[in-house]
Amino acid sequence: MFFTSKRLKLYLGALLVLQVCTLISGISPVRGGFIDFRSFYTAGHMLRTGHATQLYDYAAEQLLQNTVVTPAPRALPMMSPPFTALLFVPLSLLSFWPAYTVFAIINILLLVACIILVKPFLTALSSRWNPTPALLFLTFLPAAIALLMGQLSILLLLLYSACFIALRRDRNFVAGLILSLALMKFQIALPIAALFLLWRQWRFFAGFLITKLQLGKAIAD
């Protein structure tokens, strides 16, 4: 077999070095403040300060981003559903860079939680070398980019991992509930929900629909 234990260790070690280099090289661009977290942080600030109606107003976003983050010639518009901004209301109590640091730490913890959740289902990889599942998560290049940019991708990874585990345990209703929380990236969650509807997985779709309706009600209120 090509991936002997020694080759696997060398491969994952090289990926780990590459990941560290990616993180180090990304520090300089991040300092400019023109990262995805910019839009999320500003959205949280807008909700907290009574500007919820301007959440998707480009001019208002640009003005506030230049005020509460860093000056920039253009804004990073809010592209996620409005309930996503609720996650960033507590972080908006901090100034931008401390909030970014806290969110980065949260993302690291979420990634560790993903490893813990999924590892029992990766026994074939663990049998080759026990740290393999954890290192595959930690050396996945998009994880470093999501961490640097302050994206929601790691949170979404946790939600989809939890949804997978709920399905494996035949808790389809709970899996649907979890998937509905991933509507912050609706272009991914909705096709998955549609597949379960086509497969007549009624309990899953009921869980998805109930939470979706509750989120819509909360946004309307």
Q: For residue range 79-101, what is the model confidence (pLDDT) as tens digits?
A: 999 889 999 999 999 999 999 99
Q: Give the contacts of 126 (CB within 8 A, at least 6 positions apart).
A: 119, 132, 133
Mean pLDDT rounded to a whole number for the chain: 91
**Could you give the maximum distance between any two Cα atoms of the chain, in Å?**
61
Mean pLDDT of 21-37: 91
How far is the C-alpha of 41 from the C-alpha of 161, rounded, in Å? 25
Determine contact, residues 172/207, Cβ cutoff 8 Å: yes
Q: What percent of the chain has pLDDT over 70?
A: 94
Residue predicted with more confidence, 127 or 62: 62
Q: What percent of the chain has pLDDT over 90?
A: 79
Mean pLDDT of 176-193: 93
How far is the C-alpha of 139 from the C-alpha of 148, rounded, in Å? 14
Mean pLDDT of 192-196: 95
Kindly tell me if the per-residue pLDDT of 1 is higher than 70.
Answer: no
Q: Picking from 25-29, 47-51, 137-141, which range would have the lowest pLDDT averaged per residue?
A: 25-29
CB count within 10 Å of CB 168 equals 11
SS3 26: helix
Mean pLDDT of 66-86: 93
Mean pLDDT of 34-61: 95
pLDDT of residue 3: 67
Q: Picking from 45-49, 75-79, 127-131, 161-165, which range would have the lowest pLDDT averaged per residue?
A: 127-131
pLDDT of residue 5: 79
pLDDT of residue 213: 65
pLDDT of residue 8: 87
